[in-house]
Amino acid sequence: MSIDWKKEVEQRKDALLDDLVELLKVRSDREDDKATKDAPFGPGPKNALIHMLGYGERDGFTVKNVDNYAGHIEYGEGDETLGLFCHMDVVPAGDGWDTDPYVPVIKDNKIFARGSSDDKGPSIAAYYGLKIIKELGLPLSKKVRIVVGTDEESGWGDMEYYFKHEEKPDFGFSPDAEFPIINGEKGNVTITMHFDGSNAGSFVLESFDSGLRENMVPGTATAVFTVDDSAVIADLTVAFEEFLKAENLKGELVAEDSLVKISLVGKGAHGASPQIGVNAGTFLATFLDRYDFAGGAKNFLHTAAKYVHLDFYGEKLGVAHEDARMGQLTMNAGILKFGPDFDDNKIALNFRYPTGVTGDSLQKAISDLLGDTGTATKGDRDMPAHYVPMDDPLVATLLQVYEDHTGEKGYEQVIGGGTFGRLLERGVAYGAMFPGYTDTMHQANEFMSLDDLFNSAVIFADAIYRLAK
């Protein structure tokens, strides 16, 4: 049977875009302070999950909500299940947007909003791929289940809960990365360095605040400190202006009597690619490290400045490693907090590591480096490296679909980002971004090209059908 998938998507593109716009309006970043038993990650992720499942109910699919942790939209019958793993949660919007991040705007053939490319846009494209198959009445020999998560950007507690209540699909993919395929993902773990809150110098660090999530490069940083010398403050003001000029950064210093507040603006980016961002937190630490802080405050600033600043590959930390297939270890300092207003004085380092490294080995190395200046702990989520071979029928089929629709040769890729594709032994990430795309995930002014949105729906429809027919 020959099916013109592009024509089928073209007939539905207005409806697809309308559904995406409404979904993007649902703010869905995790809010632990608003979490309840009924909304385990806060109201936003719950509302977005219900909204997405509502599309499935509207269109006649089998739908299940698993206690607002996750849910699924299912179609077809068979002994095997093909899983598509999407997520409705998003990272916080952060600063630097030209438009309201929760009011979708279409301009220059792109849709701008938080979640447009990660992962609501690709989720809607995949959903419409299955919707087309259902509306055409195409026969399938397997179940197809779109699993919708709500905590992908944080701790994956949604999937942990979901799979305590539902069976795992046999194989599948997550539309949460790029084409032609992601069949390998580095390991992922966060090692947090902890410092005591003491101050003992002529400069007293009252607070240091930078970073929203471990997997985001901090785009802003603010430090508040006291120094009882007006002449020193005058010199400090001049030095800060020189620092901004030398580093080509923007910032502000405000002094009132002995209290000084410094704000610095960098550039946010996805924590899997820290080298494309500008970490405002570590830059601010390097500026402050030259002054007379002492005690835990000095240890905090000096560690960030000497061992973390511009160390994207763990070289200064002594943990650099490279694998022939998976490439280099990368490291992102996603959260830097100091002061009594925070639950901890810490620097959280998110590592994406190849084979040959473990979370335990990273923790030990950093603990040894800190010595008696601090301690190092490993986060609860330590995901080892994941790889599905090129000759696996899943990978081969998905690459063939990509080649058939683009005319371009498919090839394997390994990334530092972690997707739900790794939930399955035979799981990969597939789309929805095409080679050469501009990566705005986890950044201000996130967008998805409408051409990529519709073309990915074409590929998803054909891929689902070939894998499940």
Q: Find the largest Cα–Cα distance for the chain.
A: 82
Could you tell me the residue range of the domain that residue 416 belongs to? 5-186+385-468
Domain boundary residue among 378, 407, 436? 378
In this prediction, residue 279 has a pLDDT band, given cuts at 50, 70 and 90, of very high
User: Do residues 310 and 333 make contact, with C-beta atoms less than 8 angstroms apart?
Assistant: no
Q: Are 416 and 463 contained in the same domain?
A: yes
Q: Are 18 and 63 contained in the same domain?
A: yes
Percent pLDDT > 90 in the chain is 93
pLDDT at 103 over 80: yes
Q: Are 372 and 240 contained in the same domain?
A: yes
In angstroms, the CA 325 to CA 180 distance is 17
Q: Which residues pair with 332 in a beta bridge?
A: 350
Q: Are 176 and 240 contained in the same domain?
A: no
Dihedral angle at the C-alpha atoms of 342, 345, 351, 355, nearest 10 degrees? -130
Across 133-137, 230-234, 345-349, least confident range: 230-234
Tell me the per-residue pLDDT of 246-268, one tens digit each, with 9 for 90 and over.
Answer: 999 999 999 999 999 999 999 99
Across 76-85, 164-173, 223-232, least confident range: 223-232
Q: How far is CA 144 from the centre of its chain?
A: 26
In this prediction, residue 189 has a pLDDT band, given cuts at 50, 70 and 90, of very high
Q: Are 132 and 250 contained in the same domain?
A: no
Domain boundary residue among 332, 359, 378? 378
In this prediction, residue 1 has a pLDDT band, given cuts at 50, 70 and 90, of low
Of 29, 152, 158, 462, which is the active-site residue? 152
The CATH number of the domain holding residue 428 is 3.40.630.10
Domain boundary residue among 352, 378, 404? 378
Report the run of H or E that residue 57 belongs to, with start and end: helix 43-58
Tell me the per-residue pLDDT of 449-458, one tens digit each, with 9 for 90 and over.
Answer: 999 999 999 9
Of 89, 170, 214, 311, which is the active-site residue? 89
User: Do residues 111 and 118 make contact, with C-beta atoms less than 8 angstroms apart?
Assistant: no
In angstroms, the CA 255 to CA 202 distance is 16
pLDDT at 418 over 90: no
Q: Are 232 and 262 contained in the same domain?
A: yes
pLDDT at 88 over 90: yes
For the question of residue 152 being annotated catalytic, the response is yes
The CATH number of the domain holding residue 219 is 3.30.70.360
Q: Which residues of 290-317 are buried (b: 16+ CB within 10 A; e: fewer)?
A: ebebebbbbbbbbbbbebbbebbbbeeb
Tell me, what's the pLDDT at 442? Answer: 87
SS (H, E, C) 384-408: CCEECCCCCHHHHHHHHHHHHHHCC
Q: Are 429 and 357 contained in the same domain?
A: no
User: Do residues 363 and 348 make contact, with C-beta atoms less than 8 angstroms apart?
Assistant: no
Q: Are 174 and 193 contained in the same domain?
A: no
Tell me, what's the pLDDT at 425? Answer: 96
Q: For 390-402, what is the mean pLDDT? A: 97
In angstroms, the CA 47 to CA 26 distance is 7
Tell me, what's the pLDDT at 230? Answer: 84
Q: What is the DSSP string of 276-322?
A: GSB-HHHHHHHHHTTS---THHHHHHHHIIIIITT-TTSTTTT---E
In what side-by-side order are the strands of the sheet with 143-149?
A: 62-66, 70-75, 143-149, 81-87, 171-174, 427-429
Tell me, what's the pLDDT at 452? Answer: 97
Indicate the pTM of the whole model. Answer: 0.78
Tokens read off for 198: 């003491």
Task: Round to the nearest angstrom and report the end-to-end CA distance of the chain.
Answer: 11
- Listed in sequence order, the DSSP H helices in 145-229 are 157-165
Q: Are 71 and 182 contained in the same domain?
A: yes
Q: Are 225 and 300 contained in the same domain?
A: yes
- Determine the Cα angle at 440 with ends 437 and 442, to 5°: 145
Q: Are 29 and 105 contained in the same domain?
A: yes
Q: Are 370 and 251 contained in the same domain?
A: yes
For the question of residue 89 being annotated catalytic, the response is yes
Percent pLDDT > 70 in the chain is 100
Count up the domains in the chain and report the number: 2
Instruction: Choose from 269-273, 311-315, 435-439 the range with maximum mean pLDDT.
Output: 311-315
